[in-house]
Amino acid sequence: MFEPRPQNQAIAALLIVSAGVFIAASTLFAKALGGAAFGPSLHPLQISHGRFLFAFAAIVLVAAARRPRLTRVHWRLHLGRTSCGWLGITCMFAAVAYVPLSDATAISFLNPVFAMMLAIPFLGERVGRVRWFAAALALMGAVILLRPTPASFQPAALLALGAAMVMGVELIFIKKLTGREGPFQILLVNNLIGLCIASLAVLAVWQPPTPAQWGMLAGVGVSMALAQTCFVNGMARADASFVAPFSYATLIFAALFDLAFFDVLPDAISVAGATIIVAGAVLLAVREARLKSRS
């Protein structure tokens, strides 16, 4: 059994915001790798392989220093969770090569909405009117971001939507794992299985990266490992209703990175869609927290 972290809202907020920086950085590296600025563009499967390779290496180094005590591993849950996580992140890396980072990031925030819907058949949860309204609001924002007109529709945005759906399934597995294993063990096993899956998937599309691309692949992996670590520890130090709004700072960092490195400024449609998605997601998070406090 693992001991709960002491509650500290200030540290929790800082950790969640830091996770947002690292998540935005990982998608920035992925977007650069999907282009041709540093050599031939890499396939999303190869980018996701680099993400798991270097994330696992970083976590193993930490494990060697900390020597954590591991408990019984629930392999089936981990396999389901990691399969969804690998597919979701691969779709996300494919999407950011063609759409603004802020748009793809905003659409990814739909994953708790899909998780709520899937919790009905898989977890037997009941969903009230407020939660359905929050879900509908967030989905309306996604429709705006998809720009469903012949002149402005972005097919690549559907990859980000698919990533959000798959990551919603991943959240179901995470809920089942919560309380059964410690956070560090979950990170370690997740990245081990992810590396195995990604190593098999990349064989068909592998190409030798340039030295600069190796550096950016390392950036993707280490950034994701740091993001996971900050997020897990932040969630452990405060209630979900408190930390949830801070996670949306990722959108700000994604937009700043897009502007600084790709000279892309979010337009009015992007701002409107992202705002509506965040409003729906925050409403859902607050409602979930209130329901949890009553149980």
pLDDT tens per residue across span 3-30: 556 677 788 889 989 999 999 999 999 9
Find out whether 250 and 83 touch, Cβ atoms under 8 Å: no
pLDDT tens per residue across span 68-77: 888 889 999 9
Mean confidence (pLDDT) of the chain: 87
Calculate the CA 213 to chain-centre distance: 22
pLDDT tens per residue across span 145-197: 888 766 667 788 899 999 999 998 988 888 788 778 888 888 999 999 999 99
Find out whether 216 and 38 touch, Cβ atoms under 8 Å: yes
Does the pLDDT at position 2 exceed 50? no
Neighbours of 57 (CB within 10 A): 15
CA distances for 200 relative to 46, 193, 194, 204, angstroms: 10, 11, 10, 8
Question: Could you give the CA distance from residue 259 to residue 99 in angstroms, rounded to a whole number?
Answer: 13
Confidence at residue 247, expressed as pLDDT on a 0 to 100 scale: 80
Look up residue 34 and give its amino acid.
G
The more confident residue out of 119 and 139 is 139
The predicted model scores a pTM of: 0.86
Q: In the chain, where are the structural domains located?
A: 9-294
Neighbours of 206 (CB within 10 A): 14
Question: Could you give the CA distance from residue 69 to residue 75 in angstroms, rounded to a whole number?
Answer: 17
Confidence at residue 232, expressed as pLDDT on a 0 to 100 scale: 76
